[in-house]
Structure 1
Amino acid sequence: MAATKHAQAIQQDSQTYLTEALFQLLEKKTLSEIKITELVARAGVSRMAFYRNYDSVEDILRQHFAPRIQRLFDNVIFEQPATVKLEDMQAFFDRFADELRLSLRAHFEYVIRDLFTKNMARYYANWAGMTPEHLKYWTVFMTNGVYGIWREWLLTGQKESLAELHTLIKKLQISTESAL
């Protein structure tokens, strides 16, 4: 059992070092310019350590962002009180704004958008009153709209409050449902 805990600790350390090294490299390079050899050298781990943990450099980003984005959606899906939702969302977006800017400069926004899309599909998965085909299109429509609004809000300095932004999104959703 002690050997297993030790191996898990080594694995976690490798993941942490690789994640930190990747974000350091992304400050100066685009994702496609980063080679695994350079990444493992920066992280101080072996190529084998990389491949024991990941299939690609994008996997590091997915592992970094996935739990944070999922938690953001869990607060909405599992109907946390509005104050908890807004506090958690504000904390998320305060940090995420810089990471989104980095994702644009370093060309990995598609990783974040993919995780956002998967969570939007999870959010709408049990909506009643729509055929599966209509639900698929509704999810695509809402995903692009909500992501676009959040993206614009984050990149332009979060001038409106998060509560105002969510009121706007709700109005747009209700208006669109009514128009259909």
Structure 2
Amino acid sequence: MANLFSKNYNKRTRFTRVCIGEAIFSLMDKKDYKDIKISDIVKRAGVSRMTFYHYYETKEEALADFFHEIVAGYIRECISEKEKVGEFHQLSSIVHALRYFDRYASFILKLVDARLYYIVIEAMNAYMKNRIMPRYKIPVYELYFYGGALLNVFVMWELNGKKESPEEIAGMVAGSIRTTDRE
């Protein structure tokens, strides 16, 4: 996969890339992911094939880029609401993450259903390594463990109908972290 996420995109190219991602997401409502063709995507997005291939080699790259845009929005929100969000391991931070990504649950569950879970886990790992590790100096494998566990909890919470509140889920997750820290 090309390193899409290190490119410096401007607002115009971001708009085009988001349109492509949203087109794929929309098409996933109507077709199995494997049956979606590039021609379907460009028609739905209102762009040319040449534009699609300017940014991506595959539809998986387009979905990964779209999901990274979602994560970038999460980062911007965390920065702008720092007092409300709290620090990395705090309950308030976990609640905030659950609520934020719940807005995109349909997209995330479509990726899971299409057997593209790796897109979500790769984005989580990149976030942990590039945003959390430098700030908190937590070993990278501890971050991968935490991120993977939190992601799995989120997906299962969504799949099971969100019977618990974000606060209840955060309490369980934070409780298991404290238990692990004591052992």
- Mark the CA change 1:76 to 1:41 in structure 2 (over 3 Å): closer, same or farther: closer
Which amino acid is the alignment partner of residue 98 of structure 1? S
Which amino acid is the alignment partner of residue 176 of structure 1? T
Aligned counterpart in structure 1 of residue 160 of structure 2, from 119, 137, 156 = 156
Name the counterpart of 1:56.
58
Q: Given the alignment of the two structures, is residue 103 of structure 1 paired with residue 101 of structure 2, yes or no?
A: no
Name the counterpart of 2:144.
140
Aligned counterpart in structure 2 of residue 124 of structure 1, from 127, 133, 148 = 133
Q: Is the 8 A contact 1:30 1:105 kept in 2?
A: no
The Cα shift of 1:52 comes to: 2.0
Q: In the aligned structure 2, how far is the partner of 1:38 from the partner of 1:79? A: 38
TM-score (norm: length of structure 2): 0.71
Task: Kindly name which structure, 1 or 2, has the bigger radius of gyration based on alpha carbons.
Answer: 1
Name the counterpart of 1:115.
123
Q: CA RMSD in A?
A: 3.2
- Structure 1: gaps (5+ residues): 1-6
Q: In the aligned structure 2, how far is the partner of 1:104 from the partner of 1:13? A: 25
Name the counterpart of 1:3.
none
Q: What are the Cα deviations for residues 12-34 of structure 1, in whole angstroms up to 9, with x where unaligned?
A: 56434423321222123343432
Q: What are the Cα deviations for residues 103-149 of structure 1, in whole angstroms up to 9, with x where unaligned?
A: 22233222122111211223234445x7xxxx233123222221111
Q: Is the 8 A contact 1:22 1:39 kept in 2?
A: yes
Q: In the aligned structure 1, how far is the partner of 2:106 from the partner of 2:117? A: 12
Name the counterpart of 1:18.
20
Aligned length: 167
Identical residues among aligned pairs (%): 26
Q: In the aligned structure 1, how far is the partner of 2:100 from the partner of 2:16? A: 25
- Mark the CA change 1:74 to 1:102 in structure 2 (over 3 Å): closer, same or farther: same
Q: In the aligned structure 2, how far is the partner of 1:20 from the partner of 1:149? A: 25
TM-score (norm: length of structure 1): 0.72
- More divergent stretch after superposition (167-176 vs 32-41): 32-41
Q: In the aligned structure 2, how far is the partner of 1:80 from the partner of 1:104? A: 30
The Cα shift of 1:8 comes to: 6.7
